[in-house]
Amino acid sequence: MKQSITIAALLAVSLGLSAQKPMTAPAGGKAISDELIGIFFEDISSSADGGLYAELVQNGSFEYNPSERDGWGAGTAWRVVRPGHSLGLLEVRMTDGLNDNNPTYMRLHTERAKEYYDYKGWKGFGIENGGFDGISVKGGEKYDFSIFMRNFGDAKQVRVALLEPQTQQGWMPKEPKLLADVVIDVTDQNWKKYSAVLTPDTTSQKAVLQILVLNTGDLDVDMVSLMPQDTYKGHGLRKDLAQALADLQPKFMRFPGGCVVHGGGDGFWDTYRWKTTIGPKEQRRGLKNTWGYHQSMGLGYFEYFQFCEDMGMQPLPILPCGVSCQGANGGWMMRGQAQDVVPMNEMDEWVDEAIDLIEWANGDPATNKWAKMRAEAGHPAPFNLKYLGLGNEEKISPEFCERFRYIYERVKKAYPEIVIVGTAGPGSHAGNPDLENGWKLADELGMPIIDEHYYEPRDYFLNKRQYDSYPRDRKTKVYLGEYAAKDKKLIDALAEGLYLLHVERNGDVVAMTSYAPLFAKKTNTNWNPDLIYFDNERPFLTCSYYVQQMFGQSAGQYYYGDCVTFEGDEPGVCQPQEGVHYGQSVVLNVKTRQLFVKLCNAGAETKKVNVDLSRFKSLKKTATKTTLSGNADDENNYEAQPIAPRKETVKAAKKFSLDLAPYSMVMLQYSL
């Protein structure tokens, strides 16, 4: 035992972790949640395919279809290529495909594959994919290519090439710039997966992938994939986007939605079902996205849970509970549309959906079939699921309450240790009947946490202090699961920061928060504002991102409201107050022995601040000061990023004053 402790201590030192014992909190602090800042991932604005999920081929399964978007089909994102005037026919087929979840594939019938004229070795009949607004590759890095193929007749050779197309000159196509290629021998008469590694010799932001059959005859292809080997912790997520999330230091991740939980909105047949998103990629069932495009499910439940583990976050999966989304079929319940519901005699299927997920995440592979599937996917150890969300901002009707109660009671009976998160409907404002009905149901059930949502203009976050009036004796805590000011200027971010100071002060009532939406791709944005914008090359971090980062970095277990005063305030005033555009918080993390002082000024005048940290007896000699400041209307966008935090080391003092500049937020971090 002594040896184990010694090894653990050495490991902690080698990783730069604190090996100190947790400290005792000084008097005067209020116990608060140390999981206040998390993230909410929903596949909106191409956040998954073409975004966080690192797959570079679009529609590699050929399952796009017109029900997802007008004009779409199996050939979307593909085109026929026939260098050297090769001849052939491309045919969409759906009989005898890979499996029922992935029925569509392409048959390439090659009639002539030889060079018809000098084209410097380019020949063959095939198809080309341009990825998501181009395939971005880096010279010298390795990319894993895979494809399922089925041959007919004589053996064939298939050339797979990464190249950069060139502008056509007159009637003669200009030779493309070859980046990398490989030739695969295909002999099997049944579906078989073929793999290769492509290493481009130069960097390209607009590459394409060609698959060229070099012999005559028929060949079927499906599940085309090109993945960089260099992904976040080797688990298939785009490294720069994942790192941007890691830098927020979130404590949990809610997924997969949002409205995505309810599927494409065409009925319960296309509801998001977690079981069809696990297992081998070729066996997963793609789905129409609520936001008007296709979800390949390459980023499925296994990847979500793996990402949470990689980042040290708690997973918070959200499951549907037998009631349609309030926005289903293009309508809104508040306008009188009927709510679609699952008949009560079919609700056991949805109960099983929840219980099976818990067993998949936490069960023993030796005794549970779902846990065995997790182990077969490469994760024999449990994921240690703690939270489970049921429902996403449905209208809190009698039908919803009946179905929610049915699932809730059965899940709690089977797994009482799981913390269930309910929903307060689509608009969590005082006087909203859904909020009132949601809280009534929460009180009746003794629900641990209820999920509130609201998107508002900045004035709401500047002037409202919603949680000051919440009862302290309620068993149910608040999860503010979706919120944002409705613009992305610095003043909006500061309004959100001021509101989060209010949330910290009410951290005994509010247990968790997550800004929404999280991601948006430059060329396919469904919603504004978003926390992180991106293109194929890099993320673009908003002002709100840096405010979230400050709060994520300053998690703690105790809040002190009387260490900071603003000059001119009445004695004993605890900021932030309703209608006052400046505020503060002091948070202590007893586990890491860190103290955080956060100050926010969302007004146009400088504020003088007095800080007294005398109760904290063992402050180290220096502190880290992080400042976010600028003009109220400054905005980070694709052309410019004027707002970013400035860090400096300052001398630590237990009593001091400072001038807090207009439109600024400051965080002081101390070690104890």
* 22 cis-preceded (ω within 30 degrees of 0): no
Other Cβ atoms less than 10 A from the Cβ of 3: the count is 7
The residue with tokens 């956060």 is 598
The dihedrals phi and psi of 468, each to the nearest 5 degrees, come to: -60, -30
User: Are the C-beta atoms of residues 509 and 478 closer than 8 Å to each other?
Assistant: yes
User: Are the C-beta atoms of residues 18 and 590 closer than 8 Å to each other?
Assistant: no
Cα separation values, 11 from 140, 246, 593, Å: 34, 22, 19
Q: How far apart are CA 107 and CA 59, in angstroms?
A: 15
User: Are the C-beta atoms of residues 300 and 277 closer than 8 Å to each other?
Assistant: yes
Q: How far apart are CA 618 and CA 654, in angstroms?
A: 10
Element (H, E) at 436: helix 433-445
User: Are the C-beta atoms of residues 293 and 230 closer than 8 Å to each other?
Assistant: no
Residue of 34, 36, 38, 29 lying closest to 592 (CA atoms): 34
Phi-psi region of 511 (alpha: psi -120 to 50; beta: other; left: phi over 0): alpha
User: Are the C-beta atoms of residues 418 and 354 closer than 8 Å to each other?
Assistant: no
* HEC sequence for 299-343: CCHHHHHHHHHHHCCEEEEEECCCECCCCHHHCCHHHCCCCCECC
The helix/strand/coil state of 63 is coil
Burial class (CB within 10 angstroms; exposed 0-12, middle 13-18, buried 19+) of 609:
buried
Element (H, E) at 105: strand 105-112
Q: At CA 82, angle to CA 76 and CA 85, rounded to 5?
A: 150
Amino acid at 382: P
- Pairing mode, if any, of strands 558-560 and 30-31? antiparallel
- Residues in CB range of 221: below 8 A, 6 or more apart: 105, 106, 107, 108, 127, 147, 148, 149, 211
Other Cβ atoms less than 10 A from the Cβ of 493: the count is 33
Positive or negative, the CA dihedral 38, 43, 48, 51 is: negative
User: Are the C-beta atoms of residues 467 and 32 closer than 8 Å to each other?
Assistant: no
State the catalytic residue, choosing from 35, 164, 393, 394: 393
Q: Is 496 a catalytic residue?
A: no
Cα separation values, 564 from 329, 548, 585, 599, Å: 51, 21, 8, 9
For residue 135, the cross-strand partners are 207
The residue with tokens 């309450």 is 401
For residue 226, the cross-strand partners are 145
The dihedrals phi and psi of 112, each to the nearest 5 degrees, come to: -145, 125
User: Which two tokens mark 87?
Assistant: 């001849």
The dihedrals phi and psi of 236, each to the nearest 5 degrees, come to: 85, 10
Catalytically active residues, by annotation: 393
